[in-house]
Structure 1
Amino acid sequence: LDKIPFHPYYSYKDLLGFALLLTTLISLSAFTPNILGDPDNFTPANPLSTPPHIKPEWYFLFAYAILRSIPNKLGGVLALLLSIMILFLAPIIHLSKQRSMTFRPLTK
């Protein structure tokens, strides 16, 4: 097998990919800063009327969906905390004897 050293080849390849993505992100935010924003967030605020539907940003949508689906406030907060705790406890309560990813379907 031919092996190539990690540092000069893969380091430069990853550095080039990082530079391209960073350039894309900076140019996107510099030339078109509002392209990814929700248009409802750009309407001027009216202190006399509440908007009919307030939509959170995309990274809070899972919490918003959980809180809206349960009518009781305490139940919604408990369901939100439980959903987050499940994500933290999933690796701890993993009961399989096999720990490697070698025999999993995604790696075949």
Structure 2
Amino acid sequence: MKDMLSEIGIQVEIVTLELGAAKGLVRAGDFDMFMTSWGTVPSGDPAYIMEMLVSTTGDANYGNFSCPDLDKLLTKGKTTLEPQARAAIYNEIQERICRAI
């Protein structure tokens, strides 16, 4: 990854930390970029990971991303039962995240 970023002019220092130490720095906002891996979502439901990562109050929203309209869509997504309607909502959520970031 360091080499790929270097090719586009971004210089990075990769620091590997124990999970607890990394979470402490991230929660304190003491980072420029944070990368981790995720296992599979326990429920298989996109609501689980989306809420955690991008809702204003998400437990893993380490970048402090906040978009009230997106929060409303997240609520709509997790309360909609029809599969095609849910898919459309989560597609819209992903599009909005891409535009916002």
Common topology (TM > 0.5): no
| Higher gyration radius (CA) | 1
Q: Which has the higher contact order (CA 8 A, sep 6+)?
A: 2
Question: Normalising to structure 2: TM-score of the pair?
Answer: 0.29
Question: Normalising to structure 1: TM-score of the pair?
Answer: 0.28
